Amino acid sequence: MCGIVGYIGSNQAAPVLLDGLSKLEYRGYDSAGIAVRDGGSATEIIKEKGKLRVLAEMTDNGKAVKGTCGIGHTRWATHGEPSAVNAHPHSSDDGNVIAVHNGIIENFQEQREKLIKKGYSFKSQTDTEVAVKLIDYYYKKYSQLPVEAIARAMVRIRGSYALCVMFKDYPDQIFCARKDSPMIIGIQNGESYVASDVPAILKYTRNVYYIGNMEIAKLERGNVTFYNIDSEEIEKPLTEIKWDAESAEKGGYEHFMLKEIFEQPKVIRDTINSVVNNGTVHFSEVQLTDEEMQDINQVYIVACGSAYHVGVAVQYVIEELTSLQVRVELASEFRYRKMTLNPKSLVIVISQSGETADTLAALREAKDQGIKTLGIVNVVGSSIAREADNVFYTLAGPEISVATTKAYSCQLVAGYLLALQFAKARNEIDDEKYQALLEDINTIPEKVDRILEDRERVQWYASKLINVSDSFFIGRGIDYAIGMEGSLKLKEISYIHSEAYAAGELKHGPISLIEEGTIVIAVVTQDALTEKTISNMVEVKSRGAKLMAVTTTGKYFLEDTAEFTCYVPKINPLFAGSLAVIPLQLLSYYVSIGKGFDVDKPRNLAKSVTVE
């Protein structure tokens, strides 16, 4: 949440900052600001409420602000409403310290009161201003060394943060620090960059450093020095980013979400190919051995939002293929439960960003209990990727649209492959079945492609849902898991109230909400459960519901029951979720744009949820 960019080099900083921030707007977009300076000249701070384009207009796309060193921020409000005053950068009253911040400082109230007693006053309601003034306080009280002042402030503040700080006395340096919020540093040909995420700097460099928790960095032109919390210099390896720059651009599509929906066949294929070789799954990169898989008898899948929905779907697959016990948990609940975890278990955390605060905390809780952990993660070098014992990287590439599509689909296939490998390693399926299942998984990309070709039918139906206020998604088993995802997609980008129910639950309460014209979307791909779900569809239809169905070609004839039926190609029902979700993604997308909403940046949301 919130995006940070910093730059020091020989070019004008403001256009670089605005360009970088435009790639990070998915992280927050209620206000934005930049601070720029040239050598010893005064620092200019420009900030405003609203999306980045407001700031771009105010500064003539950065051209009106002169200077080769600067920091910038796009905000997702936590402390204090979205406003120009609360927008970052924040500054000490004398301009000695200027900073931008991503994350939450939990004890900001206590620190603020202490600073007020020491004579500081505050203009904004933000926790960031407290951090700025705390650093200023330590800087002036002690050695006037930036690294030391930041380190002293870091040991006093609790919470998660990524900070970018400029000091008046050090005009050719930018200082950064982080704890539990993402930040990367890039260098190239005498220029240095810092950002919350790779897409912000990908255009300029692929050479990045990952700054660790409770570490500080000093950026100079083309050079970076790292320090630990004791202000001692430390070494960090330089890593090369493999993503290509185009993957973080819209590439001719009107929106990132549509582009990412259409990238799914490729990225699903890439994710499969990353572990499948010569008709066999190889987990050498994941570093999970067959012996370890044999030794595990319980699996916990822990995640948030759509990644949690992946867990719900994968649970059914693991249970079908193996005798393992599986529990799926919301990370925000799991982390506070008093659960004694089975010592022979594996905790699988699923996260696109690898930075979701609750998922990261759940991972740490599992590790504290001595439990083996595996991360299914998209962002290389993210906190979860670094801290999990084993990592299965999804190869979705940068996902910019706030609503996940391609990362979700890659997580699903990663889950299938994991389930399949568990079954094989534990001798719970024979070779023939293993090969047949793997072949089916291999057909997913091409089948997704076929569904995408039929997008115009979905677009037509979406146009009928523009004025709908309530909707329900129903299904059983894996179809229920896919309904959960379809429902989240629709509500988060079209603001239509939507709920997902296990179809069998309707009669236990929700059916009383069905009235003339209520939209019910049924997912019907699971052979063994089809008749039951169809009965539930008929029940809601007879109470006035309008039905859409997503089902498998040639298996069930639902035209008589549903007013709109979307067919997906045949596949083993265990993997049908990967196909059934595609029309639901398209439906949400077209409803949202039909309503004129900013589909890539839905209100109140941010892509990477680094606060609780």
Residue selected from 68, 264, 359, 536 as contacting ligand F6R according to rule CB under 6 A: 359
Residue selected from 404, 518, 551, 585 as contacting ligand F6R according to rule CB under 6 A: 404
Beta carbon nearer to ligand F6R, 271 or 359: 359
Q: Are 586 and 261 in contact (CB under 8 A)?
A: yes
The residue assigned the tokens 């109470």 is 543
Rounded to whole angstroms, the Cα distance separating 211 from 499 reads 40
| Shortest distance, position 251 Cβ to ligand F6R, whole Å | 21
Beta carbon nearer to ligand F6R, 224 or 609: 609
Beta carbon nearer to ligand F6R, 134 or 384: 384
Rounded to whole angstroms, the Cα distance separating 32 from 89 reads 9
Query: What is the DSSP code string of 393-423?
Result: E-------SSS-SHHHHHHHHHHHHHHHHHH
- Mark 432-471 with x for binding to ligand F6R (rule: CB under 6 A) and - for no binding: ----------------------------------------
Residues 471-490 that bind ligand F6R (CB under 6 A): 488
Residue selected from 38, 129, 136, 492 as contacting ligand F6R according to rule CB under 6 A: 492
Instruction: Based on the shown chain and the rule CB under 6 A, indicate whether residue 609 belongs to the binding site for ligand F6R.
Output: yes
How far is CA 593 from each of CA 398, 596, 602, rounded to the nearest angstrom? Answer: 22, 5, 11
Rounded to whole angstroms, the Cα distance separating 347 from 375 reads 8
| Shortest distance, position 609 Cβ to ligand F6R, whole Å | 5
Beta carbon nearer to ligand F6R, 321 or 606: 606
Residue selected from 351, 530, 585, 592 as contacting ligand F6R according to rule CB under 6 A: 351
The residue whose Cβ lies closest to ligand F6R is 305
Chain centre to alpha carbon of residue 193: 22
| Shortest distance, position 236 Cβ to ligand F6R, whole Å | 24
Instruction: Based on the shown chain and the rule CB under 6 A, indicate whether residue 328 belongs to the binding site for ligand F6R.
Output: no
SS (H, E, C) 63-104: CCCCCCEEEEEEECCCCCCCCCCCCCCEECCCCCEEEEEEEE
Beta carbon nearer to ligand F6R, 67 or 305: 305
Beta carbon nearer to ligand F6R, 124 or 411: 411
**Total Cβ atoms within 10 A of residue 504:** 15
Instruction: Based on the shown chain and the rule CB under 6 A, indicate whether residue 352 belongs to the binding site for ligand F6R.
Output: yes
- Mark 294-313 with x for binding to ligand F6R (rule: CB under 6 A) and - for no binding: ----------xxxx------
Range in contact with ligand F6R (rule: CB under 6 A) among 85-93, 139-147, 353-361, 427-435? 353-361
Beta carbon nearer to ligand F6R, 305 or 445: 305
Closest CA to 581 of 562, 590, 568: 568
| Shortest distance, position 353 Cβ to ligand F6R, whole Å | 3
Rounded to whole angstroms, the Cα distance separating 490 from 602 reads 11
Residue selected from 353, 518, 552, 588 as contacting ligand F6R according to rule CB under 6 A: 353
| Shortest distance, position 404 Cβ to ligand F6R, whole Å | 3
- Using DSSP's 3-state secondary structure scheme, residue 127 falls into helix
| Shortest distance, position 610 Cβ to ligand F6R, whole Å | 9
| Shortest distance, position 181 Cβ to ligand F6R, whole Å | 13
Beta carbon nearer to ligand F6R, 68 or 610: 610
Closest CA to 473 of 485, 483, 488: 483
Beta carbon nearer to ligand F6R, 152 or 309: 309
Q: 93 φ, ψ to 5°?
A: -60, -35
Burial call 568-594: b when 16+ CB within 10 Å, e when fewer: bbbbbbbbbbbbbbbbbbbbbbbbbbb
Secondary structure tally for the chain: helices H, strands E: 19, 27
Rounded to whole angstroms, the Cα distance separating 56 from 610 reads 26
Residue selected from 69, 208, 403, 425 as contacting ligand F6R according to rule CB under 6 A: 403
Range in contact with ligand F6R (rule: CB under 6 A) among 169-177, 351-359, 437-445, 467-475? 351-359
Number of residues that bind ligand F6R (CB under 6 A): 15
| Shortest distance, position 373 Cβ to ligand F6R, whole Å | 15
How far is CA 584 from each of CA 255, 385, 497, 589, rounded to the nearest angstrom? Answer: 17, 29, 15, 9
The residue assigned the tokens 């020491």 is 118
Query: 358-362 — which CB contacts under 8 Å span 24+ positions?
Result: 358/304, 358/330, 358/331, 358/332, 358/609, 358/612, 359/302, 359/303, 359/304, 359/307, 359/331, 359/384, 360/180, 360/384, 360/387, 361/331, 361/335, 361/612, 362/302, 362/329, 362/331, 362/334, 362/335
**Total Cβ atoms within 10 A of residue 449:** 17
- Mark 157-186 with x for binding to ligand F6R (rule: CB under 6 A) and - for no binding: ------------------------------
Residue selected from 59, 86, 247, 356 as contacting ligand F6R according to rule CB under 6 A: 356
Total length of the chain: 612
| Shortest distance, position 267 Cβ to ligand F6R, whole Å | 15
Rounded to whole angstroms, the Cα distance separating 93 from 132 reads 10
Active-site residue 2, yes or no? yes
Beta carbon nearer to ligand F6R, 578 or 608: 608
Catalytic residue among 23, 447, 601, 607: 607
Chain centre to alpha carbon of residue 410: 13
Catalytic positions: 2, 607
Contacts with ligand F6R, residue ranges (CB under 6 A): 304-307, 351-353, 356, 359, 403-404, 488, 492, 608-609
